């Protein structure tokens, strides 16, 4: 369920980065500066535990496929929301940095979808009220399954919203929802059942481990609402700023300086230059990317958001840049050889 940089616009990615970074800062303040630093170490090792637990696969009955635990809800139950959020966020950072899960810009979205939702929505508003003191096996089972399933559904819904708002994918909102929600409901039920199994085992062997979270105060609903409100405001405000039909500050300045609403588009400047170069140097000077005798294709091309006239010279130019960068890198490496490995 990891979002990717390539599917996000800078506005949506930046807004979720701001919300997630703010929540990390806030959670760090909420964790009391206890003289007992053992809980800090416990958090670190529990983050590593999530990685390790994800390596243990199980067979999903009746399907022939296998799966592994996600661990978000389990951490929230064991560590409480603030510590679980920090721990999950750190796991996601390491997944992004070393396993290419998502990317740097998408990290804000991933922390929101995979850490914020289980820690600050699923645990306090679904799991805790249903589970109560955790002594009833039936309540523990229904709390685990309901919280995991709803948490995953909310995360999947968030992925759909972030992708749709970014406008990179052509998948319609409804189709994307139909694809994402049913599969995540099933995954959520399996995750919940496994979480229940682990919690039951812990309750019967080391019940002391379950006390940490039960002694933690749940985040107030106002806090969660405020975080969601800030996310909505950030995205809505930034998107509407970008989508404004009136000229923005930059356009206004350009208008004052040049008398035009906008400068010649970047592609026009570079592509006229490159097209000129191409005409002089090209092996096939008469080759035209735009030329087509197909009437339907011509009509479609007129309404297409793609500007084919800029394509050939633009792509040729960017490929030249790419080749030059690769050649420059090889020359640089030969000039400054790497130190011998010890």
Partner 1 sequence: MNRSGIEAIHGQPRPLPIGDGAAIIILALFILFVTSIPKYDLAGAIAFAAFPLLLTTASGIALMPILKRLVITSPFILFMAAGNLALDRVPAVTIAGLAITGGMISASVIVLKTVVTLVALLSLMAVMPFHRFGMALRNLRVPTVFVTQLLLVYRYSFLLAEEAAMMQKARDLRSFGGRGKGPLVTAKLIGSLLIRTTARAERIYMAMSARGFRVGLDSRPPITIKPGDFVAIVSAALLFALVRHLF
Stretch that binds partner 1, among 10-18, 149-157, 214-222, 245-253 (CB under 8 A): 10-18
276 contributes a contact to partner 1 by CB under 8 A = no
C-alpha span between 217 and 275 (Å, rounded)? 65
262 contributes a contact to partner 1 by CB under 8 A = no
Question: For residues 125 and 193, which CB has a smaller minimum distance to partner 1 in the complex?
Answer: 193
Question: For residues 276 and 326, which CB has a smaller minimum distance to partner 1 in the complex?
Answer: 326
7 contributes a contact to partner 1 by CB under 8 A = yes
DSSP 323: H
Q: Count of residues binding partner 1 (CB under 8 A)?
A: 115
Question: For residues 244 and 304, which CB has a smaller minimum distance to partner 1 in the complex?
Answer: 304
Question: For residues 183 and 233, which CB has a smaller minimum distance to partner 1 in the complex?
Answer: 183
181 contributes a contact to partner 1 by CB under 8 A = no
318 contributes a contact to partner 1 by CB under 8 A = yes
Question: Among 138, 243, 257, 306, which residue sits at the site for partner 1 (rule: CB under 8 A)?
Answer: 306
Contact 214, 134 (CB under 8 A): yes
What does the longest C-alpha to C-alpha distance in the chain come to? Answer: 82
Residue-wise DSSP of 164-215: HHHT---S-HHHHHHHHHHHHHHHHHHHHHHHHHHHHHHHHH-GGGGHHHHT
Taking CB under 8 A as the rule, which mask of x and - marks residues 123-162 in contact with partner 1?
----------------------------------------
250 contributes a contact to partner 1 by CB under 8 A = no
- Intra-chain end-to-end CA distance of the chain, in Å: 41
Q: 94 to 113, contacts with partner 1 by CB under 8 A?
A: 94, 96-101, 103-105
Contact 79, 43 (CB under 8 A): yes
Question: For residues 18 and 209, which CB has a smaller minimum distance to partner 1 in the complex?
Answer: 209
Instruction: Tell me which residue has tokens 């050649």.
Output: 327
C-alpha span between 278 and 317 (Å, rounded)? 9
Give the shortest CB-26-to-partner 1 separation in angstroms.
10
Q: 137-166 and 10-30 helices cross at what angle (nearest 10)?
A: 140
Give the shortest CB-148-to-partner 1 separation in angstroms.
13
Q: 23 to 62, contacts with partner 1 by CB under 8 A?
A: 24-25, 28-29, 31, 33, 37-38, 40-49, 51-53, 55-61
C-alpha span between 11 and 244 (Å, rounded)? 14
Contact 79, 212 (CB under 8 A): yes
Question: For residues 5 and 125, which CB has a smaller minimum distance to partner 1 in the complex?
Answer: 5
Contact 112, 83 (CB under 8 A): no
289 contributes a contact to partner 1 by CB under 8 A = yes
Cα separation values, 66 from 56, 61, 114, 321, 327, Å? 10, 9, 21, 45, 45
Give the shortest CB-251-to-partner 1 separation in angstroms.
16
163 contributes a contact to partner 1 by CB under 8 A = yes
Q: Which has the closest alpha carbon to 110: 93, 87, 97? A: 93
70 contributes a contact to partner 1 by CB under 8 A = no
Question: For residues 129 and 172, which CB has a smaller minimum distance to partner 1 in the complex?
Answer: 172
In a 3-state reduction of DSSP, which class is residue 263? Answer: coil
192 contributes a contact to partner 1 by CB under 8 A = no
264 contributes a contact to partner 1 by CB under 8 A = no
């Amino acid at each position: 369920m990891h979002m990717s940089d390539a599917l996000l616009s800078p506005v949506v990615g930046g807004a979720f980065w701001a919300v997630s970074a703010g929540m990390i800062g806030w959670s760090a303040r909420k964790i009391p500066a206890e003289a007992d630093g053992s809980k800090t170490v416990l958090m670190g090792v529990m983050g590593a535990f999530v990685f390790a637990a994800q390596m243990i696969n199980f067979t999903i009955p009746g399907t022939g496929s296998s799966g592994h635990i996600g661990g978000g809800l389990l951490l929230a139950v064991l560590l409480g929301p603030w510590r679980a959020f920090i721990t999950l966020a750190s796991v996601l950072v390491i997944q992004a940095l070393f396993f290419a899960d998502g990317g740097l810009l998408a990290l804000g979205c991933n922390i929101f979808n995979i850490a914020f939702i289980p820690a600050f929505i699923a645990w306090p508003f679904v799991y805790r009220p249903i589970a109560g003191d955790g002594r009833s096996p039936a309540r523990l089972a229904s709390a685990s399954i309901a919280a995991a399933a709803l948490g995953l559904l909310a995360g999947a819904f968030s992925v759909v919203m972030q992708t749709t708002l970014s406008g990179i994918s052509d998948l319609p909102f409804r189709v994307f929802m139909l694809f994402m929600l049913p599969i995540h409901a099933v995954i959520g039920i399996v995750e919940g059942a496994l979480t229940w199994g682990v919690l039951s085992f812990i309750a019967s062997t080391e019940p002391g481990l379950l006390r940490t979270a039960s002694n933690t105060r749940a985040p107030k609903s106002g806090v969660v609402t405020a975080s969601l409100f800030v996310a909505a405001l950030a995205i809505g405000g930034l998107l509407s700023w970008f989508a404004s039909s009136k000229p923005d500050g930059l356009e206004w300045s350009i208008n004052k300086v040049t008398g035009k609403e906008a400068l010649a588009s970047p592609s026009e400047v570079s592509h006229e230059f490159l097209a000129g170069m191409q005409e002089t140097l090209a092996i096939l000077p008469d080759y035209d990317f735009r030329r087509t005798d197909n009437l339907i294709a011509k009509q479609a091309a007129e309404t297409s958001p793609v500007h084919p006239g800029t394509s050939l010279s633009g792509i040729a130019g960017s490929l030249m840049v790419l080749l030059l960068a690769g050649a420059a890198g090889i020359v640089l490496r030969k000039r400054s050889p790497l130190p011998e490995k010890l």
